[in-house]
Each structure stands twice: as structure tokens, then as C-alpha cells.
A and B are shown apart, each in its own frame.
Chain A
Amino acid sequence: MPEGNADIIGLSGAEKHFGAANVDIIRLDGAEKHFGAVRALGGVDFHVGPGECVGLVGHNGAGKSTLMHMVAGTLAPDSGKIGVHGGIEDNYSVSRAQKLGIRCVFQELSLCPNLSVAENTRINHAALSGLGWRRRAATLITAKLDEIFPDHGISAWDIVGDLSIGRRQMVEVARAFTVTQDRLDLVILDEPTSSLDAHTAGQLLAFVRRFVAAGKSCILISHVLGEVLRNADRIVVMRDGKVVVADAANAFDRDRLVTAMGGAEAHRGTMTETTKAEAGPLRVRARPARQADGKELVARAGEIIGLAGLAGHGQTDLLLAIFAAAQRIRPGIEVTAPVALVAGDRQSDGIFPQWSIAENIGIRSLARLRNGLLISPQREAELAAFWQQKIGIRTPDMNNNIFSLSGGNQQKALFARALGSDAEIVLMDDPMRGVDIGTKLEVYDLVREEARNGRTFLWYTTETEELDNCDHIYVFKNGRIVANLTRDELTEEKIIQSSFGDAA
């Protein structure tokens, strides 16, 4: 996107020095961050001036959150410079950010559920001390709530745990805008409207405009693109840990944003086979619990079905519901064959830490490994050896503990557990998270091969390229299916269009 880069390079190239004349509230030059082998941020230049609202958009994993953690001081960059109010900060931290007037409302609500609204306000304001601090905290937060959300209906003495999620978010937002002894120049709002209804969201955004008009600044992160387009002065688009475009908000429209986020060119490299003509017998028919219209997911034998959309919009829930329905009948879900699941969160959903690789693979197939009443160690070893060879688990001995394997190989063992079982339906819960590309390609081939042999795959993934392996893609939003695309219709823009659709 050369036309977009021109803007930020002109304004904030790394060669430019921080000077006293520089009035930016915060400025990051060449910020980089790696988590292990994963590059979360690759040299990002970012700045926020006084009196502006900067919209920040991008896909999951584009690096938005990492960048905001750096601005808020919760993460330090591996390399690059941070400057606040014109001075370079060498030991930037949360408390330093607070002193310099930078606050953050993170997506994960950070209030203590066992404390009252007033007590939660005190946590950020050390100045509220001595006798009567509760009353003063209550006055402070109530005034701010009244200012942002008139007729909010929240008492400062309410215990946070008793409030609805929407009201909690209102308190969280209001608390970030309260001022005692520290200055306040910049508030980061990470998905501030995700749990608010349209009316309350409108109140908040109107307040943000007033706040900015008064010379303060905001960073607004939202998946509702209309919100960003209407309320930001400038929009920064991130993708793959880099800023791809930064421009004035009125230079964007919806299509340009979507194109910038997803990339204009669709990756279609793995689409080689012709679409299967014959439809196999029905394997799964499922309607999400929150689906109001008649849309439902249908999977037939030999199909690979993709579940797409933003993370956490009901894809995993539907997979788990299908898994549970295979054991006990559930309304709205029909499953006609044995089911196995490949976990994405290995540690909490997949691995048995005390066991060997072979035992971890065998657990789903114990009934078949029996010889009479007892499990045959020989058959268990044979199963493990077969899959070690087939899926390429790199270990000298399958009797070693599962943790002797690298993460990617642990994931392969979980695939072997599912594929080595009698399951005709394999559910995949974003299983390629944090797996290297070599492993991924091997597993893709295996999945396609198994599908040709008649197995059905339901594949939730947050990586759009993986959807190229699917015959059919269902896009999820807010726990519902919002689009149903065949592989021929599949483009990245289409998925993003559907998952960011303003109509909820």
C-alpha cells in the first residue's frame, strides 16, 4: 500500500528525532516484538497527536493488541523507541504511563467483581485516601458516569459482580476517564462497544468526540468498521504485525478499509482439486443455539467444512455442542457417526501431561486396543508407530513423555489421536495455532486425504488461508451463522465483509 505508507513515513520515520517541539502524546518508532518464534510486531511506527481520535483496525492477530499494550506500558518492545510528550522513555511502564496521562480500557474487563463500583475506582486513584475515601470515590465515578452515560442507572455502591456485562463495561470506561492527581491525555478504548447496546454505544462515542474536541486524544479499536469510520479522525490499518495504511478517516470508505485489512489478492494456492460432484450421506446438521433464522450447518461424508469469522464468535461453542450431541441427544443438532475432536488449546483441552506419546494417542481408541479385557501394550505400540510414521512425529521413542515433543509435534499427536480413532467426524478447534508452516502443510495434506476416504471435517480456523482447504465455509458472528460460502465464492474480503457486517 504505497500511498498509505507515504503518510506515516513522512511524518514519523525512525530517522526523525524526538524534539521539544514534537507535541505528539505518544510516538513509537520501529517497535518490534517477538513471542518466541512468532513475530507479533515487525517495526511499527505509530503516533497520536493531541486532540485526535485514531482508529485502529485489523484482523485478529494483526498486532493491534500488542501495539496497544506497548502504548499502555504493559509490554516493552524488543527494539524501537517510545516517546511521550516529546521525551524519550527508556523505562516505560504502566505506572509511568498513568503518570503521563495515558490510560487503557482493555477488552478483558479488569474490574474486581467482589468490590463495589466506588472501591474499584479507588484502585486507579491512590489520591483517594484517608477518611471518607469511599464517598469521594463514589462522587468521582458517579459524576463521570452521569457525564458519559446520562440515566445509566448504576449506583456507586453496587457490587461489580452483580452488574450486567454492559454496565460493567460502562463502569470500566467511565473509570478510565476519571481524573485525580494524574493528568489525562490519551485513553485507549479496545472494543469499548462490544457489550453495549446501540443507545449506550452512541452515548459513549458522542462523549469521545467531546473529549477529543476538548484537546484530548483517544485510540479507538473496533471491529465495527462504521464506528471507526464515523468517529476517528485518522485510521491506522494493521496486518501481520505491520501498519499497512495510515490515512485521514475521510480518505477511507468501507471497501478500502476491508481491502487494506485483508489484502487485495486472495491466496488460492492450495485449491487444486475439482469440487466433488456427488454428495455423501449426511453426517452433521447443527443450528447454533443463538441462531434466530433457519440457517444451519450441514456436513456430509467426505466434506471439509470451514467455520470462519472473528475469534470467539461461537465457532468453538458449536463444535463443543456437536461433540456433546454425539454422546447425548440435543435439540437442534443431528450427528450420525462417532466424533473426535482435535483441540486447539493443547494444554487445557488435549494433552495428558503424565503420559507418554503413545498413551496420549491411544486414549481415544482404548476399546479397539483391547485383547480380551486388557489393553494390549503391543497394539497400543503398533497404533502409535503407525501414526508416528504417517503423520511424522519426530521422536526417537513413542514411549517418551508427551512433553518431550515440540509444540507442533504435540499437536500432531493430538491429530493422530483423532485420526487413529473410529471417528467418522473430526472436529478441529483452530488446531493450528502456533504451529510452524511445515507441520501445517503436512497436516493439510493428511486432512484432504482422509476426507477423500470419506471422513468429515469441521474445521474452525482463524487463519483465512486454511479455509482454502474447505469445500464449504460458514461465517460466524455473535454466535450465529451469517454467511454460507462455497469454495468458489470464497475470498478473504467476503469473509471479512460478513464477519464485520454492521447489521447484527
Chain B
Amino acid sequence: MILVKSLAGKPWVWSFLGALLVWLATIAFTGGYGAGGMVTAALSLAVFTVIVGVGQMFVITLGPGNVDLSLPANIGLASAVAMKVMAGSDSMIVVGLLAALACGAAIGAVNYLLIWALRIPPIIATLSASFIIQSIDISYGRGLQIKPPPGFADFTNWQILGVPVLALLTVLFTIGAAIAMQRMIYGRSVLAIGQNIRAAWLAGVNVGRIRFLTYTLSGALGGIDGALLAGYFRGANVDIGNEYLLASIAVVVIGGTSVAGGKANVPGVWGAALFLVLLLTMLNTFGVSAGVRLLLTGLIIVGVITAAGGEKAVR
């Protein structure tokens, strides 16, 4: 009973609960067929949302107005950069991954530079940056689909007993992110800025540096995500990151991170990512059209924000 109570107090429980319910509904519909395969597929796909979701979570936690809208373009460009650097050769995998990471980090740094030097709101800065990035991507990738090296493609699809290795690694990464958020000076500073940027400055937090690091981190995570996506889907592509604009914000919000900033929730990002992927699977299984699928996703996000907004009325 006590366990249930303490669990119910954690906002991330609900996203996992939602994922579980959706999964149960789907296997009830299929009569139990494909239950295990569904979980494996969900884990494989959720990884990509979790990686960018964590980056987005740090940015959103910086407080109202902070959001990284350049992630889709970033993912697209980084996927092309990674595949070109790897050039189909297994020996270049690590170099390619580092190139994607650097490309993403550079995009993040430029984002913050725009915000800081030109004093434009993050929404505008990251959105306009994404147009520039997309143009670079189109001229750089020339619209070609570049294949990943076979070793890299195998790695992104590698499973042990039905559990994708990439998912295991991502779990480790999210544990690290959670520790950074709660126990490191960097994370504490992000939380402080999100609650009250002026008070954070007056309490000695180096606001400029922390914001710079956060946008760079978000960009770097977008970059690595692009490389992994290109491996998983066997090819880079300008549009490969398109769905991660909505998804990265959605998992942050559904996962229990406060849109008002200053309150982050790492496990919730996992729950929400699984929930969204399973929801898609369920709607596909039910034979619902793509339009209805998007409609439902949108309604769920609005619903979660409304529900989460209620408890925040304390201030």
C-alpha cells in the first residue's frame, strides 16, 4: 500500500501506466498475438525519442520560452554528416559518430549564440536556425540516401533475448542524465534558472554558461540521434528527423516535466516515449488512418498539459 502511494506521487508513473494500458489494449485486440514483438519494437523506436527528449527536457527546464525547435533539421543534417564520414566503411564508424556529435553540438552552440547575441526568443532563434540547417542539409546531402556501414546498421538493430542493445545503452544514458540533473552543479543550476532566472543569477549561478551548455547539449544529442536513426533505418535522409519536433516536446510534457521550467523528470521521458510508440502501434493495429493518429496524439498532449497544469496552481 505504501509502495503504491509513494509511486502514485511520482508523476512519471502515469506515463508508464499509460504505456501499459495501451499495450494491454493492443494485445487484447490481437488476442495476445505479437505481444513480445511489440515490446521489442517499441523499445527500439522509443530510444530515438528518448535521446532527443532528454535534450529537449534540459532546454525546457530552463524556463518559460526555452525550447529547441531545430532538432528535426539537426537530426537530418547530422544523419547525412555521419553517413558521409562513415562512407560505408566499418572502420570509420566511431569517427562518423563523433562527426555527428560535433555537428549537433555546433548547431546547439549557434542556437544559443543567436539567442544571446541577438537577444531573440529561443523559439524564433531555433526555428530560423532550423531553416538554415535544412538548406545546408539539402545542398550537402544532395537529396541522396547514403547507406550506413553494415557493422553500424547491425549494431543499431542488435538484440539480446529480444531486448535491443541500443535501448539498454540508452537506459544507462538516461540514468546518467538523471544524476546530472539532480546531483551535479550543472543540473542544479538548470533547475534554479528554470524556477527564477533572476534569483539564480543573484545566487551566483553562471546563467549564461549554463544556458549555453544546455543548448549545446540538446544539439549534441540531436546529432547523435541522427546518426543512430540513419543506422537503424539504413540510410540518411533530410526528413528523417521530422517527427521528432512534436515527439521530443510531447515526451517531456507527458513525462511530467514542468513546461513552466524548474522541474524535470527523466524516467517520465522513457514512459512517455514508450507510450507514444505503443499508441501508434495500437492505432495502426486498429486500422486507424494517419490523420486520426495525429489528431489523437495532439489531443493527448493537450490533455496531459491540462491535467498537469491543475496541480501547479499552488503558486
CA of A441 to CA of B39, assembled, Å: 64
**By the criterion CB–CB under 8 Å, are A374 and B205 in contact?**
no
User: Measured between C-beta atoms, what is the minimum distance from B61 to chain A in Å?
Assistant: 11
Given contacts A348-B196, A363-B192, contact A354 B262 (CB under 8 A): yes
> In the complex, what residues of A have CB within 8 A of residue B119's CB?
none
Answer whether residue B117 sits at the interface, using C-beta atoms and an 8 A cutoff.
no
* B interface footprint on A353-381 (CB within 8 Å = 1, 0 otherwise): 11100010001101100100111010000
Using CB atoms, name the residue of chain A closest to B260.
A354
Answer whether residue B10 sits at the interface, using C-beta atoms and an 8 A cutoff.
no
**By the criterion CB–CB under 8 Å, are A373 and B184 in contact?**
yes
**By the criterion CB–CB under 8 Å, are A354 and B203 in contact?**
no
**By the criterion CB–CB under 8 Å, are A421 and B204 in contact?**
yes
> In the complex, what residues of A have CB within 8 A of residue B198's CB?
348-349
Using CB atoms, name the residue of chain B closest to A369.
B185
Interface size on B (CB < 8 Å)?
Answer: 22
> Out of A359, A363, A373, which one reaches B205, CB within 8 Å?
A363
**By the criterion CB–CB under 8 Å, are A364 and B203 in contact?**
yes
User: Measured between C-beta atoms, what is the minimum distance from B123 to chain A in Å?
Assistant: 23
CA of A364 to CA of B201, assembled, Å: 10
**By the criterion CB–CB under 8 Å, are A375 and B202 in contact?**
no
For window 266-315 of B, CB contacts with A under 8 Å fall at 314-315
**By the criterion CB–CB under 8 Å, are B196 and A352 in contact?**
yes
Given contacts A354-B262, A354-B263, A363-B205, contact A375 B188 (CB under 8 A): yes
**By the criterion CB–CB under 8 Å, are B183 and A374 in contact?**
yes
Answer whether residue B35 sits at the interface, using C-beta atoms and an 8 A cutoff.
no
**By the criterion CB–CB under 8 Å, are A343 and B184 in contact?**
no
**By the criterion CB–CB under 8 Å, are A352 and B202 in contact?**
no
**By the criterion CB–CB under 8 Å, are B205 and A351 in contact?**
no
> In the complex, what residues of B have CB within 8 A of residue A353's CB?
195-196, 262, 315
Interface size on A (CB < 8 Å)?
Answer: 26
**By the criterion CB–CB under 8 Å, are B184 and A348 in contact?**
no
Answer whether residue A341 sits at the interface, using C-beta atoms and an 8 A cutoff.
yes
> In the complex, what residues of B have CB within 8 A of residue A415's CB?
none
CA of A363 to CA of B204, assembled, Å: 8
**By the criterion CB–CB under 8 Å, are A352 and B204 in contact?**
no
CA of A493 to CA of B9, assembled, Å: 58
> In the complex, what residues of B have CB within 8 A of residue A354's CB?
191, 195, 262-263
> Out of B184, B262, B314, B315, which one reaches A375, CB within 8 Å?
B184
For window 152-189 of B, CB contacts with A under 8 Å fall at 179, 183-185, 188-189
> In the complex, what residues of B have CB within 8 A of residue A64's CB?
none
For window 375-396 of A, CB contacts with B under 8 Å fall at 375, 377
CA of A323 to CA of B200, assembled, Å: 13
User: Measured between C-beta atoms, what is the minimum distance from A403 to chain B in Å?
Assistant: 8
Answer whether residue A160 sits at the interface, using C-beta atoms and an 8 A cutoff.
no
CA of A354 to CA of B195, assembled, Å: 7
Using CB atoms, name the residue of chain B closest to A351.
B199
CA of A375 to CA of B191, assembled, Å: 14
> In the complex, what residues of A have CB within 8 A of residue B188's CB?
359, 363, 366, 375
**By the criterion CB–CB under 8 Å, are A366 and B262 in contact?**
no
Q: 19 interchain pairs (CB within 8 A)?
A: A327-B206, A348-B196, A350-B203, A351-B196, A352-B195, A352-B262, A353-B195, A353-B315, A354-B191, A355-B191, A359-B188, A363-B203, A363-B205, A366-B185, A370-B185, A375-B183, A375-B184, A375-B188, A421-B204
